[in-house]
Chain A
């Protein structure tokens, strides 16, 4: 069965420090990987995706993610966190033969001033 794991319910980081939000996946075939962010009572906003090509993907608001095929991971990173980055982050994945995305359970990022 296909699955996405976000092992941390919450990540705490000080403003200005680097942040990492972890994601591992299990899908059939070549993976398509996505990161979304959700602010309270809002829909999901697309941050970035990996389809093929460079393992380091750059996205919106200074976020980037690194695809690691051997570790089946797609961790989200940002070199310098902002308080406004505080939100709920979802990783999603699907195999190239699949019709649907599988979402992780979400990681709450809290950036303290």
Chain B
């Protein structure tokens, strides 16, 4: 997990609330990613960013938003439009764009909707 931090570790959200998950990396990586992990399923890509001020939707972007104003930061907002947000959220980064570059993961944030 070294070099990538995610906060908070645990997050509880009430129905109708937006919440923001933090992801910071000090690896000087250009590319950053957000994944969602549900029990018994692999990781699913929410959003990714290959460079500052640019990002693209992944497979399950509905109900989520991101920003990439700084190279080291890629926060994810889970909006009230996300119908089933309870999951484990993982942030990753890689030195450059393209899957040839290994993605390194943060420790994750577990989000629970009350």
Q: Is the CB of A99 within 8 A of B106?
A: no
Inter-subunit contact A105/B40 (CB<8 Å): yes
Bound CA span A54–B27, Å: 29
Size of chain B's interface in residues, with CB distance under 8 A? 28
B13 within 8 A of A: no
| Contact present for A106 and B42 (CB under 8 Å) | yes
Please name the residue on chain B nearest to A36 by beta carbon: B105
A90 adjacent to chain B (CB < 8 Å): yes
Complex Cα distance, B102 from A94, in Å, reads: 12
Specify which of A43, A45, A49, A92 lies most central, judged by the most chain B CB atoms within 10 Å of its CB: A43
- List of B residues within 8 angstroms of A42 by Cβ: 1, 107-108
Give a binary string over B79-114; 1 marks a CB under 8 Å from any A CB, 0 the rest: 000000000101010000111101111111010000
Mask of A67-103 contacts with B, CB within 8 angstroms, 1/0: 0000000000000000000000010101010111111
Beyond A9-B40, A44-B92, A106-B41, 7 extra complex contacts between A and B, CB < 8 Å: A32-B99, A32-B100, A43-B108, A45-B105, A46-B104, A96-B100, A100-B58
**Chain B interface residues (CB < 8 Å from chain A):** 1, 4, 6, 40-45, 48, 56, 58-59, 88, 90, 92, 97-100, 102-108, 110
